[in-house]
Amino acid sequence: MRVDFNETFPVPLEQAFSYFPTPHDWVRIFAFDDRIIDRGNGWYTVGLKKFPISLVLRVDIVVPNERVHWIFGGIWRGEGDVNFSPAPNGTTIYGFEEVHIPHMLGIGPRLECRYLQRPFERLWESGWKKLRRANPAREPLIA
C-alpha cells in the first residue's frame, strides 16, 4: 500500500517542516494518539487513532527544512519520505509513504490494500487539511 503526495500549503517552509522531524511533532497535525513511545536509537512505537495496531518506525534521515525519511519495523515493512521546497505562497511538501504487513498475516496484498489504503490516505488528508487552514501568524496547530 502506497500513498504519494505533492501538496502546497500557505505556511513558511520552516513552519511546515516543524511538523515532521519526529513522531512527537506529527501529533500536532496527524491523527496519532498519545501512545508514542521512544524506544531509543531513533525507534518509536506510534499509536494511531481508530486503528488497533501501532506503528513501529525509525526516523533515519532528517535534513532540516528539506527532508524527513523513516523506515518501518515490527510487523510493518516499508518507508516514508517527506520533502519540502519553497513555493511562491508557502511550501510544497512531496513524497510518499509505503507500508506493508508481510503476508498481511496470511490474507494477501489485495486485502492489505482494501483494509490499509484508505485509513492511511485519511491520515495524510487530515494533516493536509490542518496545514491548509494554518495561519502562519499563529502557532501551534493542535491535532
Question: In this predicted model, what pLDDT tens digit does every residue of 108-140 receive, in sequence order?
Answer: 666 666 667 777 788 778 888 888 887 665 444
> What is the pLDDT at residue 107?
59
pTM of the model: 0.83
pLDDT at 135: 63
Domain range list for the chain: 2-20+59-133
Residues of the chain with pLDDT under 50: 138-143
Q: Are 18 and 5 in contact (CB under 8 A)?
A: no
pLDDT of residue 62: 96
Alpha carbon separation from 81 to 22, 28, 33, 106, 131 (Å, rounded)? 13, 18, 21, 28, 18
pLDDT given at position 140:
45
Q: How many secondary structure helices (H) and strands (E) does the chain include?
A: 3, 7
